[in-house]
């Protein structure tokens, strides 16, 4: 039965948004959580908010940036223990739990990962948005809710701090090897 | 991409993960989401004039605090406040009597929000109020708890699109000498009651998207909620001869099983309040001023 309170076209628009943006939101959550349960929770809560605030979700490229910004807040709540497990996504949780581990241990990668983890959360996030989500400075600014100049400055400083950590840790050989591996 | 970017890309935790596919679980989640409560008008819209605003006002006109919820203002202290200010919590930019506000971090300490308002000349108090997940970061108010009695108008208008938790414009007469209160939505904890930022709409408001309590008996509604593992609260919806209405929180013992439910609202993440039309023996309608005075208000949260 058609829910009379759903605006005309809202369901179709949300379904298109969901199917188009599920992969990037999944990867965003996967990169920033420790368990399949958390990934499923972040995905479910992020899209639930998008459904309830569909008028706020911009069209086009802005949609995924809006979802990233929303997922970022959802994650912040999770980390502060202010969210509980959602009742949604039970099957998705099972599917994600059944997926094999993503990576095999590699001491060179682990060394870089340690340096990355040693960064402040703000530095990690701006680097991740640039290097994992592949966002430009203005796009990062949209996700973080700051100016483009501030985003570029934060990115520049985060790169410098990571370079310093890697340099002082004597990881130049590691980073060179990684650079070659990543083409 | 520079050297550091390539290094970071090489430790991408998702790099080795399989490309996500639209599996049964993904489809099922989509179905679950669209089966939940559909999009609700944002609270700032619900607080603005509407068909029910007149009725609300009719009842609460004598209640200074609630009357104040629709209007407020602040003065600008001498000494040259900034026209633009931002910290990690929010940014504020003043243009005349209008202030463009962006909530950047809904989890920030309330004092950071107050600092931002104060920097542009607004003497305000900010209350962090418990709300459902989709209203986290929303700015509520402004309110003068003792009542707004000044010239001009005040209000808040949300702007979209907005990549932050909330974007909007607040306006008020610059010479208002009192102190206003804003609310910033924070995620309510499990079982924590949501702040009541507007009156229940007796014309129909439902907590669940796939079930309507309106027109059902209290007994049937209670059974349905228990079947879903949800708790039950009760509000009697009183109407008054001059056309106004008010709701009164009551214990289960004051509600008849065969009384009729007019609507429902989420009280917290696991409790639904049933709004019930008083049946025989419900007693006289309470003084709406007293009913309002006896319940907590979001703007009283410290």
pLDDT at B53: 32
The minimum CA-CA distance between A153 and chain B, rounded to whole Å, is 15
10-residue mean pLDDT profile of chain B (302 residues): values are: 82 81 84 68 35 30 27 36 83 84 89 89 89 88 77 77 85 75 91 86 78 93 93 90 77 94 92 94 78 74 76
Q: What is the pLDDT of residues A22-35, one digit of tens each?
A: 999 999 999 998 88
Vertex B13 angle, CA B12 and B15, to 5°: 65
Tokens of A66: 């809006």
pLDDT at A100: 59
Read off φ and ψ for residue B13, nearest 5 degrees.
-65, -20
Q: What is the complex's ipTM, to 2 decimals?
A: 0.81
pLDDT at B258: 96
> Dihedral sign, CA of A34, A35, A41, A44?
positive
* B contacts of A82 (beta carbons < 8 Å): 107, 186-187, 189
Q: Note whether B203 contacts A: Cβ–Cβ < 8 A.
A: no
Full-prediction pTM beyond 0.80? Answer: no
CA distance B168 to B171: 10
pLDDT at A174: 41
The minimum CA-CA distance between A136 and chain B, rounded to whole Å, is 11
- Closest Cα to residue B201, out of B52, B32, B49? B52
Tokens of B251: 């214990």
C-alpha A30 chain-centroid distance: 7
Beta strands B84-86 and B271-276, pairing class? unpaired
Q: Note whether B284 contacts A: Cβ–Cβ < 8 A.
A: no
A70 pLDDT exceeds 70? yes
Cβ contact A182–B9 (<8 Å): yes
pLDDT at A67: 94
3-state SS of A31-65? HHCCCHHHHHHHHHHHHHHHHHCHHHCCCCCHHHH
Higher pLDDT: B243 or A95? It is A95
Tell me the average pLDDT across A47-61.
85
Tell me the average pLDDT across A72-82.
70
Decide if B195 contacts B299 (C-beta within 8 A). Answer: no
CA distance A130 to B107: 24
Cβ contact A131–B9 (<8 Å): yes
Q: What is the pLDDT of residues A149-177, one digit of tens each?
A: 888 899 999 999 998 888 754 443 444 33
Higher pLDDT: A148 or A64? It is A64
Indicate the residue of B12, B29, B37 with minimum beta-carbon distance to A31: B12
Q: Across chain A, what does the average pLDDT equal?
A: 78
pLDDT at B240: 74
pLDDT at A102: 54
A138 pLDDT exceeds 50? yes
pLDDT at A181: 37
Q: What share of chain A is helix, strand, coil (3-state, %, to 5)?
A: 70, 0, 30
pLDDT at A134: 92
A179 pLDDT exceeds 50? no
Higher pLDDT: A142 or A110? It is A142
Please, which contacts does A110-118 make with residues 24 or more away whose CB atoms are closer than 8 Å?
A111/A169, A111/A171, A111/A174, A112/A166, A112/A171, A112/A174, A112/A175, A112/A178, A112/B7, A112/B8, A112/B10, A112/B11, A113/B11, A114/A169, A115/A162, A115/A165, A115/A166, A115/A169, A115/A171, A116/A162, A116/B8, A116/B11, A118/A165
B156 class by beta-carbon count within 10 Å (0-12 exposed, 13-18 middle, 19+ buried) = buried
Q: What is the pLDDT of residues A108-134, one digit of tens each?
A: 777 888 889 889 888 999 999 999 999
């Amino acid at each position: 039965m058609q829910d009379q309170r759903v605006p005309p076209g809202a369901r179709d628009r949300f379904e298109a948004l969901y199917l188009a943006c599920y992969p990037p939101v999944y990867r965003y959550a996967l990169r920033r959580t420790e368990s399949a349960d958390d990934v499923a929770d972040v995905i479910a809560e992020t899209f639930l908010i998008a459904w309830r605030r569909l008028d706020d979700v911009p069209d086009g490229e802005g949609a995924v940036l809006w979802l990233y910004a929303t997922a970022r807040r959802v994650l912040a709540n999770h980390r502060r223990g202010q969210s509980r497990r959602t009742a949604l996504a039970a099957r998705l949780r099972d599917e994600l739990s059944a997926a094999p581990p993503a990576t095999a241990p590699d001491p060179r990668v682990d060394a870089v990962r340690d340096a990355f983890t040693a960064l402040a959360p703000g530095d990690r996030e701006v680097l991740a948005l640039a290097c994992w989500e592949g966002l430009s400075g203005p796009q990062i600014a949209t996700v973080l809710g700051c100016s483009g100049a501030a985003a570029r400055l934060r990115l520049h400083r985060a790169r410098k701090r990571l370079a310093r950590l890697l340099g002082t840790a004597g990881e130049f050989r590691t980073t060179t090897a990684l650079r070659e591996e990543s083409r | 991409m520079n050297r550091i970017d390539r290094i970071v890309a090489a430790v991408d935790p998702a790099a080795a993960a399989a490309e996500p596919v639209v599996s049964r679980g993904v489809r099922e989640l989509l179905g679950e989401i669209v089966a939940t409560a559909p999009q609700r008008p944002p609270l700032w819209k619900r607080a603005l004039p509407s068909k029910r605003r007149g009725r609300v006002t009719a009842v609460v006109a004598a209640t200074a605090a609630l009357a104040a919820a629709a209007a407020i203002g602040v003065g600008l202290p001498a000494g040259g406040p900034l026209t633009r200010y931002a910290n990690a919590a929010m940014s504020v930019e003043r243009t005349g009597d209008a202030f463009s506000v962006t909530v950047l971090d809904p989890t920030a300490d309330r004092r950071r929000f107050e600092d931002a308002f104060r920097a542009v000349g607004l003497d305000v108090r900010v209350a962090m109020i418990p709300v459902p997940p989709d209203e986290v970061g929303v700015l509520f108010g402004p309110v003068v708890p003792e009542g707004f009695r000044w010239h001009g108008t005040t209000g808040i208008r949300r702007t979209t699109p907005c990549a932050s938790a909330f974007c909007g414009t607040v306006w008020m007469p610059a010479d208002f000498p009192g102190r206003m209160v804003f609310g910033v939505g924070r995620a309510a904890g499990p079982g924590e009651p949501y702040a009541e930022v507007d009156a229940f709409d007796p014309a129909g408001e439902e907590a669940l998207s796939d079930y309507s309590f309106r027109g059902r008996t209290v007994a049937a509604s209670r059974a349905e909620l228990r079947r879903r593992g949800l708790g039950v609260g009760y509000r009697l919806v009183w109407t008054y001869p001059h056309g106004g209405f008010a709701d009164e929180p009551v214990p289960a013992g004051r509600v008849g099983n065969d009384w009729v439910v007019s609507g429902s609202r989420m009280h917290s993440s696991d409790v639904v309040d049933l709004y019930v039309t008083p049946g025989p023996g419900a007693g006289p309608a309470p003084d709406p001023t007293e009913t309002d005075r006896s319940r907590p208000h979001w703007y009283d949260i410290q």
